[in-house]
Amino acid sequence: MKYDITSLKLADTGRRNVEWAERRMPVVRKIRERFAREKPLKGVRIAGCLHITPETANLARALVAGGAQLALCASNPLSTQDDCAAALVKHFKVAVFARKAVDRKGYYEHINAALDFRPQITIDDGADLVSTLHSERLDVMSNVLGGMEETTTGIVRLRAMAKAGALRYPIIAVNDAHTKYLFDNRYGTGQSTVDGIVRATNTLLAGKNIVCAGYGWCGRGFAMRARGLGAHVIVTEVNHLRAIEATMDGFAVMPMKAAAKIGDVFCTLTGDINVVRKEHFRAMKDGAIVCNSGHFNVEIDIEGLKSIAARVERATRPNLVGYVMKDGRTIYLLAEGRLVNLACAEGHPAEVMDMSFATQSLATEYVYRSHYKLRPEVIDVPQEVEDWISRTKLQTMGIHIDTLTEEQKKYLGAWQEGT
């Protein structure tokens, strides 16, 4: 089996971390047990471009138990946990091409190595695998039956491809399932983004002005958790409805230009480019901390920041670089503007990834079973998959709920009864 990782020696530590995550991923575990009995993916070649974490390793174990042959590459150069990559190779029979902190060239070499595996199914987080496949690796396209996409940014890219008539095979929008975005994007990003900022800086959030750029599900989660720690949260938005929602949720809403003057910590979660740029850096206070929790490192104009800095100061802490302005102010950038939650912390906790990766596992089974009747477009996760996952997750949490009585069902199905 081919692979390219930092060191196989890390495999036993990695395995312990994978098992620690597994304890908190009971839904994926149940799927793995069924897959091991039924082998719905027998002999199917799958390539995944995902963050290489213990949670991803548990998704990998479920797919391998189902009979799949799996190659994994990283979906971000800084998110790979090298011990986990080693465990996947040594203990879980997965061909991994990922090293933490590879450069751009290495990152794309790894994507190409996963494509050399001639996948029949692709699993993406950000659509780099699909976009490389469609632009540079048409030689392996004929094998592909279908795929899945994990994140909002990837779905935006895929919808643009589908609209342009460029998408060549069906892709299931895992991100858009309720079992994914309501929990992973909100509670996962909320907690792990705060975790990343705190691990990188050890700054106190209580009493600080924290600027949250973007009030989608990730922004909502981050704003909520930052407020929980006592920060004054300011939201910036371009969408009227979301701005109203943020206001009614009790946050201050203002343009970035105004927020720039008063913010202590800035975090972008928008999916768009250059959300924080030169005009904002010029207005920031000395010591301002800037980071990104959106998928790509495009939300902060780093080139612009460099261009107005007199010098760059590598701070004493990892993942933290100070840009010293000509007027003496220093602006601190975390993790080169890459995903702060995965680069400075460990990504979303296993409990939410349990639902996301249960959705991925069952969507993989679905796309393999149904590919012949699906068109090359972005497709929703089937409702019965979402229903099974939410029911099972609740059961594993030990929570019981009411069921509709026959009378209630009848009432809900009727239109005649009013006041």
CB neighbours (10 Å) of residue 406? 7
Contact by Cβ (8 Å): 183, 354: no
Residue 53 or 153: the one with the smaller Cβ distance to ligand ADE is 53
* Smallest separation (angstroms) from ligand ADE to the CB of 19: 15
CA distance 271 to 255: 17
As given in the structure block, the two tokens for residue 387 are 């229903």
* Smallest separation (angstroms) from ligand ADE to the CB of 339: 8
* Smallest separation (angstroms) from ligand ADE to the CB of 44: 21
CA distance 322 to 64: 44
Residue 55 or 237: the one with the smaller Cβ distance to ligand ADE is 55
Which residues contact ligand ADE by CB under 6 A?
50-51, 53, 55-56, 188, 342, 347-348, 353
* Smallest separation (angstroms) from ligand ADE to the CB of 188: 6
CA distance 356 to 57: 13
CA distance 369 to 359: 15
Residue 221 or 347: the one with the smaller Cβ distance to ligand ADE is 347
Contact by Cβ (8 Å): 267, 200: no
CB neighbours (10 Å) of residue 143? 13
Helix axes 11-23, 54-65, angle to 10 degrees: 80
Residue 123 or 144: the one with the smaller Cβ distance to ligand ADE is 123
**Is the CA virtual torsion 327, 267, 319, 205 positive or negative?**
positive
* Smallest separation (angstroms) from ligand ADE to the CB of 245: 24
Residue 119 or 188: the one with the smaller Cβ distance to ligand ADE is 188
CA distance 79 to 120: 25
Residue 56 or 292: the one with the smaller Cβ distance to ligand ADE is 56
Residue 79 or 209: the one with the smaller Cβ distance to ligand ADE is 79
Three-state DSSP at 334 gives strand
* Smallest separation (angstroms) from ligand ADE to the CB of 394: 21
* Smallest separation (angstroms) from ligand ADE to the CB of 37: 26
CA distance 28 to 207: 39
